[in-house]
Structure 1
Amino acid sequence: MVQANLGFLARTLLGRPTCLIDRGAKLSRHARILNARKSSEHIRIGAGSFVGGELFVFAHGGDIEIGRDCFIDRGARIWSADSIKIGDRVLVGPDVNIFDSLTHPISAAQRHAQIRSIFTVGHPAEIDLDERPVSIGNGVQIGAGAIILRGVEIGDNVIVPPGSIVTKSLGATESRTP
């Protein structure tokens, strides 16, 4: 924990954008905050939350908001080129991927140009990755290895089984009395 927090502190002191962390939120030593935008305000972690995975916003756009008392496990990858909003008390298992874009252009020529830009000057400030926002409700549990794709809305208290590939929105579970 200390090592990640020292790296985070060093990047902050150097003036590099990282993220905004509410009271009681923590980053594990395995957490990676990759912010290609010009402001730390594009990645926000709510009070009491724990991040052990990777949060990344693209240079041309992207916004990640993690609610209160969430747990993002080690190996989880949340990449935003538009908007990813995670509610309160959400559990994201290990090796989960949440993407609000295609992450790379479909065209081989455009994909090559994007990679060339990343290697020479950084992530391009203008690019179309067919972005669509992702919204995850309160109390959601996302099992290990699940993949949440662009444009998906997950309602409150939904459980996403391990290894699932979610391409369409999922409604909230109904409470049932025995």
Structure 2
Amino acid sequence: MADMHHPDEGSFERMTSGQWFMPSVNEEVSAEHRRGFLLAKELNELQNTNPERAKEILRELLSPESEVPGLHTPLNVEYGCNVTIGKDVFINFGATILAQAPVTLGDHVMIGPNCSLITVGHPVNDHEMRAEGWEIAKPISVGRNTWFGANVTVLPGVTIGEDCVVGANTLVTTDIPDRSLVLGQPGRVVRTLEDNEDRWERQDLDV
């Protein structure tokens, strides 16, 4: 079981490099896991009433290279230290980010309510490995100016391009090219978003 394994089998290096790992056997990883949960608990208990304190917590929770996003809690996050967020990003209520591998959100990304970014998985065929607690993680990247509708789920190893729209309830299992409209379970590209398509929407803009 887990106490028979070497701590290196659960190291950050192993966890973030796409190898099988067991986080429970590495004290450094376990300590970071606990630290992140405590910060997320404090953040969520603010209930969106203290934006200045929320920014301070997010600076501690996310990677040193990350900007502080606009956010409506609750936020469910593991290993926020592996999450890097660009400028002017907004994350709506109920996001779940399991960042055993790096998660990167580009500038101006918008994440709708109850979206999930899941970098981690478990053995499918080897039941003993799964019972022991082995995991494997692959990074997720979302390009700038991309918008997720509500209840989008992104699975491990997926890269989503720039200027995409991912419709509500979509399950993204494969890479998505730039300027794609993605719908369905599993998600598929239904068309490419053209440069001039904003013009018809502006016809209804009364400013």
Query: What is the TM-score normalised by the length of structure 2?
Result: 0.55
The CA distance in 2 between the partners of 1:43 and 1:146, in whole Å, is 27
List aligned pairs for 1:23-172, cutoff 5 A. 29=46, 42=63, 45-50=66-71, 52=73, 53-57=75-79, 63-102=82-121, 104-106=122-124, 107-114=126-133, 127-129=134-136, 131-172=137-178
The CA distance in 2 between the partners of 1:109 and 1:48, in whole Å, is 40
Kindly indicate whether the alpha-carbon contact (under 8 Å) linking 1:18 and 1:43 is maintained by their aligned counterparts in 2. Answer: no
Structure 2 CA distance for partners of 1:99 and 1:30, relative to 1, 3 Å: farther
C-alpha distance after superposition, 1:39-81 (max 9, x if no partner): 95647641453252222129xxx71112222111111101111
* Helix, strand or coil at the partner of 1:110: helix
Structure 2 CA distance for partners of 1:72 and 1:44, relative to 1, 3 Å: farther
TM-fit CA distance, 1:160: 0.4
Residue identity in the other structure for 1:169: D
Q: Which has the higher helix share?
A: 2
The structure, 1 or 2, with the larger RCO (C-alpha pairs under 8 Å, 6+ apart) is 1
The CA distance in 1 between the partners of 2:129 and 2:146, in whole Å, is 36
**Aligned CA-pair RMSD:** 3.1
Residue identity in the other structure for 2:171: I
* Helix, strand or coil at the partner of 1:109: helix
Q: Which has the larger radius of gyration?
A: 2
Give the paired residue count: 134
Over the matched positions of the two proteins, sequence identity in percent amounts to 23
> Does 2:198 align with 1:176?
no
* Helix, strand or coil at the partner of 2:132: helix
In the alignment, what sits opposite 1:118? none
Kindly indicate whether the alpha-carbon contact (under 8 Å) linking 2:86 and 2:108 is maintained by their aligned counterparts in 1. Answer: yes
The CA distance in 2 between the partners of 1:166 and 1:133, in whole Å, is 14
* Helix, strand or coil at the partner of 1:77: strand
The CA distance in 1 between the partners of 2:178 and 2:127, in whole Å, is 39
* Helix, strand or coil at the partner of 1:68: coil
Kindly indicate whether the alpha-carbon contact (under 8 Å) linking 1:149 and 1:167 is maintained by their aligned counterparts in 2. Answer: yes
Structure 1: any 5+ residue segments left out of the alignment?
A: 1-14, 20-26, 32-38, 115-126
Structure 2 CA distance for partners of 1:99 and 1:51, relative to 1, 3 Å: same
TM-fit CA distance, 1:149: 0.9
The CA distance in 2 between the partners of 1:140 and 1:30, in whole Å, is 26
